[in-house]
Homo-oligomer: A and B are copies of this chain.
Amino acid sequence: MELVLGIDIGGTKTKIGLVDKSGKCHIKAVFRTREFPNLEDYLDKVKGVSNELIQSIDEKTTILGCGIGAPNASSKNGTIENASNLVWKGSVPILEKLRERMDMPMRIMNDASAAALGEMLFGGAQNLTDFIVITLGTGFGAGIVANGRLIDGYDGFAGELGHVDMTIGDGRLTGLGIRGGLEAYVSATGLKRTIMYMLSKYLVDSRFRNIAYNDLHGEDITKAAEEGDIIALKAFDYTAKIMAQALANFTAFTQPEAFILMGGLTNSGKWIKEPLESYFNEFLLDVYKGKVKLLESGMHGKTAAICGAAALIWEIQETQSKPKMDRI
Contacts and interface: CB of A to CB of B under 8 A. Distances in A.
A288 B157 contact: yes
B252 A163 contact: yes
A285 B146 contact: no
Interface residues of A, number: 49
Contacts of A252: 158-161, 163-164
Given A147-B147, A163-B285, A167-B167, A154 B245 contact: no
Interface string A221-261: 00000000000000000000010010011101111110000
A154 B167 contact: no
A250 B248 CA distance: 14
A154 B285 contact: no
Interface in A250-302: 250, 252-257, 283, 285-288, 291-292
Interface string A122-152: 0000000010000000000000101101011
Nearest to A178: B285
A29 interface: no
Q: Which 8 A-B pairs have the closest CB atoms?
A: A153-B255, A154-B257, A158-B255, A160-B252, A164-B249, A146-B151, A130-B154, A157-B255
25 contacts: A72-B287, A74-B287, A82-B286, A130-B153, A130-B154, A146-B158, A147-B149, A147-B152, A151-B254, A152-B255, A157-B255, A157-B288, A158-B253, A160-B252, A161-B253, A163-B252, A163-B285, A164-B249, A167-B167, A167-B168, A168-B242, A168-B245, A169-B245, A176-B285, A250-B253
